[in-house]
């Protein structure tokens, strides 16, 4: 596009990555695709980012998934409400971000340093929360960890699937009605557990 502005073209390239990711997922981010969507010749992609891997690493770094999301701090008087809030936040995060859904999908088929790093952060964040809830509730780490796993994994699965499939177990996962029911189920679970 001949703008002769490195910063701008780098921005254009990264924006193109974002567009492709949100529309088709990380699997579709190739040199040719990025070049054509950004309108920048692919030579510059290699020149400025080295490789697609590095370009994606930069993209992930910029849109720092997980780190930018504020999880509700322990500001509730009881653990039950805190727990409910945590998973509400998790659901919200995935609902709002098509890119995050695509990232979780990508994780199923790919292994690279960037993904490893994201996994580590996820583990750290999870551990922190699990520790807090465990201490406050008196439940063992395994107990709290098991429940957290159950819920977050489920939510992730359903959100990824919802992009291709409208119903799972009679639950409408492509509109709010299904998610309301699921939230209600989670609340019900905690109501039963914390008593």
Residues that bind its own copies (CB under 8 A): 25, 27, 105, 107-111, 119, 123, 126-127, 130, 141-143, 145-158, 160-161, 163-165, 167-171, 181-182, 184-186, 188-189, 192-193
Binding partner at 157 among DNA, its own copies, none, C-beta below 5 to 8 Å by kind: its own copies
**Closest approach of DNA to the CB of residue 25, in Å:** 13
The structure tokens listed for 49 are: 């980012």
CA–CA separation, 5 and 3 (whole Å): 5
Binding partner at 105 among DNA, its own copies, none, C-beta below 5 to 8 Å by kind: its own copies
**Closest approach of DNA to the CB of residue 28, in Å:** 8
- Radius of gyration in angstroms for the set of CA atoms belonging to the chain, rounded to a whole number: 20
Q: Is 4 in the site for DNA (CB under 7 A)?
A: yes
Q: Is 189 in the site for DNA (CB under 7 A)?
A: no
11, 12, 18, 23 alpha-carbon torsion, rounded to 10° = 170
Binding partner at 167 among DNA, its own copies, none, C-beta below 5 to 8 Å by kind: its own copies
**Closest approach of its own copies to the CB of residue 120, in Å:** 10
- With CA atoms as reference, report the closest residue to 30 among 4, 52, 63, 58: 52
Residues 149, 122: contact at Cβ < 8 Å? no
In order, the DSSP letters of 114-167 are HHHHHHHHHHHHHHHHHHHHHHHH---HHHHHHHHHHHHHHHHHHHHHTTT-SE
Site string for DNA, 17-56 (x = CB under 7 A): -------------xxxx------xxxxx-xx---xx----
Integer angstrom CA distances of residue 66 from 92, 118, 120: 12, 8, 11
97: left (phi over 0), alpha (psi -120 to 50) or beta: beta
Q: Is 110 in the site for DNA (CB under 7 A)?
A: no
**Closest approach of its own copies to the CB of residue 127, in Å:** 6
**Closest approach of its own copies to the CB of residue 95, in Å:** 15
Contacts with DNA, residue ranges (CB under 7 A): 1-6, 8-9, 30-33, 40-44, 46-47, 51-52
């Amino acid at each position: 596009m001949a703008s002769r502005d490195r910063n701008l073209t780098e921005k254009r390239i990264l924006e193109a990555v974002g567009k492709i990711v949100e529309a088709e997922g990380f699997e579709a981010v190739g040199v040719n695709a990025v070049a054509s969507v950004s309108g920048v010749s692919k030579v510059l992609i290699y020149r400025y980012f080295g490789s697609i891997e590095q370009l994606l690493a930069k993209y992930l770094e910029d849109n720092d998934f997980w780190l930018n999301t504020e999880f509700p701090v322990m500001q509730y008087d009881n653990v039950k409400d805190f727990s409910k809030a945590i998973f509400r936040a998790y659901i919200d995060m995935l609902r709002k971000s098509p890119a995050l859904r695509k990232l979780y999908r990508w994780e199923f088929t790919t292994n690279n340093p960037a993904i490893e790093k994201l996994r580590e952060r996820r583990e750290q964040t999870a551990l922190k929360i699990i520790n807090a809830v465990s201490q406050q509730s008196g439940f063992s780490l395994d107990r709290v960890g098991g429940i957290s796993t159950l819920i977050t994994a489920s939510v992730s699965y359903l959100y990824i699937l919802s992009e291709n499939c409208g119903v799972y177990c009679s639950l409408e996962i492509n509109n709010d009605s299904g998610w309301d029911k699921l939230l209600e189920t989670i609340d019900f679970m905690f109501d039963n557990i914390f008593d």
